[in-house]
Structure 1
Amino acid sequence: MNLKDAMDKFLKNPVSDNERNLIDILKTSEFLSPIMLISPMVNKDGSSFDEEEGNNIRFVILEDEDTDKKYYPLFTSQEEMLKWRKDEEQESIKLKLKDYAPMLLSEKNEYDGIVIDPFSHSLILNLKFLESVFK
């Protein structure tokens, strides 16, 4: 069973067997994570520097206007990402769910979780759920 099928099955019937199956597939799946590349700043002498050294990638965040909750969007395919932004040049990187653990579980985290395919499945994984998956 692929990830989309597992999400469909869980969303239609959220019983524990479907949840366990979904978690197993989520742990091994790769996602497209939209990013923004930040250009280094330039000094007057022409040399460049980063405001935060080594930090030239910013992850895109989606905010739910009804709840004010903020999520990292993850997409299962380029087609799903195009539903969000019809820009084939949108920068993205491939990451696994575990790659988000350091960001989401840190004390400095100010986001509420992850949303997978926000413009179709819209599967929200909140922090409590992610903590159980990451452990």
Structure 2
Amino acid sequence: MGLSLSLLVEKFLNKQDKQSEKDLIMALKEAEFLTAVFFVAPLAKESGEPAWEESFSFVSLDDGNARYIPAFSSKDELELWQDLGEHEVLICSLKELSVALDVGMAGIVINPFSSSIILNKNTLDKILNL
């Protein structure tokens, strides 16, 4: 991909021109993010079929007004979350994260403990449909 996602975010925040916006959007569409989940149910139904849709819950962050799925561009970014507790880590694309948003969730926040880029559902849809 060339520049890392973190560098592209920094470049966009500093320049805010069309080219840095385009580069960032393309990187977001291609990126894989680390996200924290808690397992909440067995991995198989009584019939023995996989129960992925029932087996885990995404950790969310609440800013007092809305809830977001945190997405991290690297292990270093994830480790900035000091009080996460016991969790598992999934690797997800931006599209997978957008599909995972529950009712009542406003969007995702990328690297919430550093650059903190919030992408609401509307913005996610626009990025994914470019």
Q: CA deviation at 1:69?
A: 1.5
Question: Which whole-Å deviations, capped at 9, do the CAs of 1:11-52 have from their partners, x for residues lacking one?
Answer: 222222211110101111111010001144xxxxxxx86xxx
Cα distance, 1:75 vs. partner? 0.6
1:99 aligns with 2:96: yes
CA contact (8 A) 2:35 2:92 kept: yes
Residue type of the partner of 2:5?
L
CA shift in 2, pair 1:59/1:88, >3 Å:
closer
- The letter for the 2-side match of 1:72 is I
Q: What is the CA-CA distance between 1:76 and the residue it aligns to?
A: 1.1
Distance in 1, Cα, partners of 2:78 & 2:100? 22
Give distance in 1, aligned partners of 2:66 and 2:86: 27
Q: CA–CA distance in 2 between the matches of 1:69 and 1:10? A: 25
Unaligned runs of 5+ in 2: none
Structure 1 position 18 matched with structure 2 position 15: no
Q: TM-score scaled by structure 2?
A: 0.81
Provide TM-score, normalisation by structure 1: 0.78
Instruction: Give the C-alpha shift of residue 88 in structure 1.
Output: 8.8
1:53-95, Cα deviation, whole Å (9 max, x unpaired): 8211100110113xx1111100111221111136696311101
Q: CA RMSD in A?
A: 2.2
Equivalent residues of 2:38, 2:88 under 8 A apart: yes
Partner of 1:131: 125
- Highest Rg: 1 or 2? 1
Runs of 4+ with >6 A deviation: none
Match of 1:78 in 2: 75
Corresponding letter in the other structure for 1:37: F
Q: What is the rounded CA distance, in whole Å, between the counterparts of 2:27 and 2:105 in structure 1?
A: 23
Which residue of the partner structure matches residue 115 of structure 1? Answer: 109
* Number of positions where the alignment pairs a residue of Structure 1 with one of Structure 2: 120
Of 3, 6, 9, 2:5 maps to 3
